[in-house]
Structure 1
Amino acid sequence: MNAISNAIATRDNGPGALVAQHRDDIELVMPSHMQKRVGAWVRTTQGLLRRDEKLLKAAQNDPGQFMAVLLDAARLGLEPGTEQYYLVPRWNKKKGCTEVTGVRGYQGEIELMYRAGAVSSVIVEVVYDNDRFEYRPGRDERPLHEINWDAVDRGELRLVYAYAVMKDGATSKVVVLNKGHIAKAMAKSDSASGKYPHLSPWSTDTEAMWLKTAAHRLTKWVPTSAEYIREQLRAHADVAAEQAPPTAVLPQPLTTEPVEDEVVEGEFVDEDEVA
């Protein structure tokens, strides 16, 4: 078999082909609004593998782990290989090789909050040393952040903050994190503390990871898609049950004809409990 045939065989049996083979599984777990785009989603993922040799090698080392990561991105309705959802080669000590891990980005966190339908806007910003930033909990509803856009150098990253404006106009809890908070979050990251930290988004896209950390903390105070929709469905079901008129029991018409004794067979049926 020549070099071209080997390349074709490798391509047809590689991670890119695996993604295509599992297209139906990917579509099945996707939110309904994403299912029409599953073809583009698959092609984009295959393109990532062609452009990134390290990612391709990690996917080849453990195709099962690679597919688990992709299914997680699909379930969340996020685009892999973007600032919504990073695909990162990570060193696995037990296996002695790299594998693909998924890291949700700040745009992914924000997307899930918007998709829930409870917020009108989400603000996530970093603060540099030369910016003006003021926020006093209990006094200020929202932070004051002034940036000198003419400054050639805004200095080093100093803080990051996040909050949401709800549909009713109220402001959510304001999350403010400093360098210490970010350092603790980074220390817990497998991709940042592994054998190849230079491949981690903490190294390649530091500002975005500060934003992601703040956005992720905000999700504790702002509904994301799954939990919010679940709560809304329960609420609608409860309201519908309260407003439903009672079922009327109609009297049976009287009959003058004699009724013979009759044995009626029946069974008990357990109703499914509504989750």
Structure 2
Amino acid sequence: MSTVSNAVAQRDNGPAALVKQYSNDFASVLPSHVKADTWVRLAQGALKKGKRQSDGRFDLEVAASNNPGVFLAALLDAARLGLEPGTEQYYLTPRKVNGRLEILGIVGYQGHIELMYRAGAVSSVVAEVVHERDVFRFQPGRDEIPHHEIDWDATDRGPLRLVYAYARMKEGGTSKVVVLNRAAIQAIKASSQGANSEYSPWVKHEAAMWLKSAVRQLQKWVPTSAEYRREQLRAAAEAQRVATAPTAPAGADTPQVEYVEGEVLDPEEWPEPARAGGAS
């Protein structure tokens, strides 16, 4: 078979074709606001980024071909979260396992911010890196938000020094301000898988990984999607119950209601019903 025929065969049976083959599976887990066709095209296009090898294929194509199962699992994770693969929402990076490239999926800082917005409690998220020549002041308990001055005309703002993140809440007010210095970032990097690999976003997108570290810490201080939506649904149900409750006639005694403390469970957490005969 000629070199051209080999290239065509690889293209028709390669990872891009695999993405198309499983497009219905991705569509079944994507959030309703994400268009499945657009998401699939982004996943296929992501394979054409990065270094090109001697056979004409890109590193990501090679990594995906070497272990299709790991590649599809990374895409399924991105689809479940509703994040765009191959972007700063969700990185697709090659890594070496036993001497061969494989795909590693990593949620990026923009992905974490997107998930916070989707929860519904946050109106805006601010995340910025601070360079050595920037002016930065922030004292917890005194300042609501950091004071950060940047000389936009500077050709060199110096090395990265700090990173910070905070959120403005829809009901008003500001979340906790997260500030991390270089030592804190280095500790986070040291615990990251393959952080020093030539393919790692810690090497290729250092500032973005600093931002991700701060935003991930910020997530601990704002409502998560699940808890916020549960509370919103609970409040809406209570408002509906009060609005539709019959009005007691004038002079009637107010019935005494006994309240029992307990935990509200999602339907998925309900216990299995007991079966006849006591079988477990």
- TM-score, scaled relative to structure 1: 0.82
Q: CA deviation at 1:211?
A: 0.7
Q: 1:16 to 1:226 in 2, by over 3 A?
A: farther
Q: CA deviation at 1:54?
A: 1.0
- Indicate yes or no: 2:92 matched with 1:87: yes
Equivalent residue letter for 2:116: M
- Measure the CA separation in 2 of the matches of 1:233 and 1:88: 38
Equivalent residue letter for 2:48: R
Q: CA deviation at 1:236?
A: 3.0
The aligned residue for residue 190 of structure 2 is: 187
- Measure the CA separation in 1 of the matches of 2:47 and 2:142: 50
Q: CA deviation at 1:74?
A: 1.0
- Measure the CA separation in 2 of the matches of 1:273 and 1:176: 35
The aligned residue for residue 19 of structure 2 is: 19
The aligned residue for residue 9 of structure 2 is: 9
Q: CA deviation at 1:51?
A: 3.9
Equivalent residue letter for 2:122: V
The aligned residue for residue 47 of structure 1 is: 45
The aligned residue for residue 178 of structure 2 is: 175
The aligned residue for residue 255 of structure 2 is: none
- Measure the CA separation in 2 of the matches of 1:226 and 1:2: 54
- Which of 151, 155, 165 in structure 2 is aligned with 1:152? 155
CA contact (8 A) 1:141 1:171 kept: yes
- Measure the CA separation in 1 of the matches of 2:115 and 2:174: 18
CA contact (8 A) 1:129 1:157 kept: yes
Q: 1:212 to 1:75 in 2, by over 3 A?
A: same
Count of aligned pairs: 243
Gaps of 5+ in 2: 51-57, 247-264, 269-280
Report the identity percentage.
59
- Indicate yes or no: 2:123 matched with 1:120: yes
The aligned residue for residue 63 of structure 1 is: 68
Q: CA deviation at 1:218?
A: 0.5
Q: 1:102 to 1:238 in 2, by over 3 A?
A: farther
- Measure the CA separation in 2 of the matches of 1:51 and 1:201: 13
Q: CA deviation at 1:144?
A: 1.1
- Indicate yes or no: 2:139 matched with 1:136: yes
The aligned residue for residue 162 of structure 1 is: 165
- Measure the CA separation in 1 of the matches of 2:154 and 2:10: 51
Gaps of 5+ in 1: 247-271
Aligned with 1:190: secondary structure?
A: coil
Q: CA deviation at 1:226?
A: 4.0
Equivalent residue letter for 1:49: L
Q: CA deviation at 1:155?
A: 1.4
Aligned with 2:96: secondary structure?
A: strand
Q: Which digits, 9 at most, give the CA deviation of each residue in 1:190-238, with x for residues without a partner?
A: 1314xxx121111111111111110111011112434432442344345
- TM-score, scaled relative to structure 2: 0.80
Q: 1:71 to 1:226 in 2, by over 3 A?
A: farther
- Measure the CA separation in 2 of the matches of 1:180 and 1:105: 21
The aligned residue for residue 271 of structure 2 is: none
Equivalent residue letter for 1:89: P
Q: CA deviation at 1:167?
A: 0.7
Q: CA deviation at 1:242?
A: 5.6
Q: 1:274 to 1:190 in 2, by over 3 A?
A: closer
- Measure the CA separation in 2 of the matches of 1:231 and 1:97: 47
Q: Which deviates more from structure 2 when the two are superposed, residues 113-122 or residues 176-185?
A: 113-122
The aligned residue for residue 30 of structure 1 is: 30
- Measure the CA separation in 2 of the matches of 1:227 and 1:91: 38
Q: Which deviates more from structure 2 when the two are superposed, residues 150-159 or residues 53-62?
A: 150-159
Equivalent residue letter for 1:129: E
Aligned with 1:191: secondary structure?
A: coil
Q: Which deviates more from structure 2 when the two are superposed, residues 121-130 or residues 236-245?
A: 236-245
The aligned residue for residue 203 of structure 1 is: 203
Aligned with 2:48: secondary structure?
A: helix
Q: Which deviates more from structure 2 when the two are superposed, residues 172-181 or residues 116-125?
A: 116-125
